[in-house]
A and B are shown apart, each in its own frame.
Chain A
Amino acid sequence: AQKITQTQPGMFVQEKEAVTLDCTYDTSDPSYGLFWYKQPSSGEMIFLIYQGSYDQQNATEGRYSLNFQKARKSANLVISASQLGDSAMYFCAMRDFYNFNKFYFGSGTKLNVKP
């Protein structure tokens, strides 16, 4: 069963504007971790940000923030002040602490930043 849903296959954003990439997840476990990864055209997967299920505050890492709404089971990534180098695929992932630490990935969102 699919556990991570990213409903935006592709998005455009103007340079210097903010953009939100959507992610919803499904789990009945009380403890889990949510991650966002960036994959540029070169193919490497780059870790961006992490949110634990018990964290009270939304995670932030520089221009990245995670809008965590636990009751709605959503973990949207917000990128502020978009840059051309932000053009990439973005994957939301959930870590299953109870099942060998497997990660479940969404299908990804292709972000294009326009100059």
Chain B
Amino acid sequence: DVKVTQSSRYLVKRTGEKVFLECVQDMDHENMFWYRQDPGLGLRLIYFSYDVKMKEKGDIPEGYSVSREKKERFSLILESASTNQTSMYLCASTIPQGGYGYTFGSGTRLTVV
């Protein structure tokens, strides 16, 4: 069964901490994405990667960075966590083929206190 695995289901971090959210997929997908989900706002794209070591900003990249050193792993980094980054974070992957949707991870609910 194909999978996208996010390392943590729940995280609580302090303001100012550096936070790493990890995402690993076992489907050899080229494209990987990080979204945050907030009530009433849907899913908003933070960053994405279309190949190893390649990254592109999404709609709300401020305060975040990413790393993709290996094809299967895409990490989201909060350089200095703030309370307005409290959210649900979803990782997804896909292939560049019509009709193919996202495979999502189970999400990480991050609380910054």
- Most chain A CB neighbours (cut-off 10 Å) among B56, B99, B109: B99
Q: Please list 28 pairs of residues, one from A and one from B, whose beta carbons are closer than 8 Å in the complex, sorted by A's number.
A: A9-B40, A31-B98, A33-B98, A33-B99, A35-B101, A37-B101, A37-B104, A43-B109, A44-B104, A45-B90, A45-B104, A47-B101, A50-B99, A93-B101, A100-B31, A100-B48, A100-B56, A102-B33, A102-B58, A103-B33, A103-B45, A103-B94, A105-B35, A105-B42, A105-B43, A106-B42, A107-B41, A107-B42
Chain B residues in the interface with A (C-beta under 8 A): 31, 33, 35, 40-45, 48, 50, 56, 58, 88, 90, 92, 94, 96, 98-99, 101-102, 104, 106-107, 109
Which of A31, A45, A102, A108 contacts B45, CB < 8 Å? A102
Measured as residues with beta carbon below 8 angstroms from the partner, the interface class of chain A is 20 to 34
Taking the closest CB of chain A, its distance from the CB of B44, in whole angstroms, is 8
Known: A101-B96, A103-B33. Is A45-B40 also a contact (CB below 8 A)?
A: no
Q: How far is the CA of A93 from the CA of B31 in the complex (A)?
A: 17
Contact partners of A37 in chain B: CB under 8 A: 101-102, 104
A9-B40, A52-B99 known; A43-B45 Cβ under 8 A: no
Cβ of B31: which chain A residues have Cβ within 8 Å of it? 100-101
Give the Cβ gap from A42 to chain B, nearest Cβ, in Å. Answer: 8
Cα A95 to Cα B42 in complex, Å, equals: 15
Smallest Cβ-Cβ distance to B96: which chain A residue = A101
- Complex CA distance for A112 and B43, rounded to whole angstroms: 20
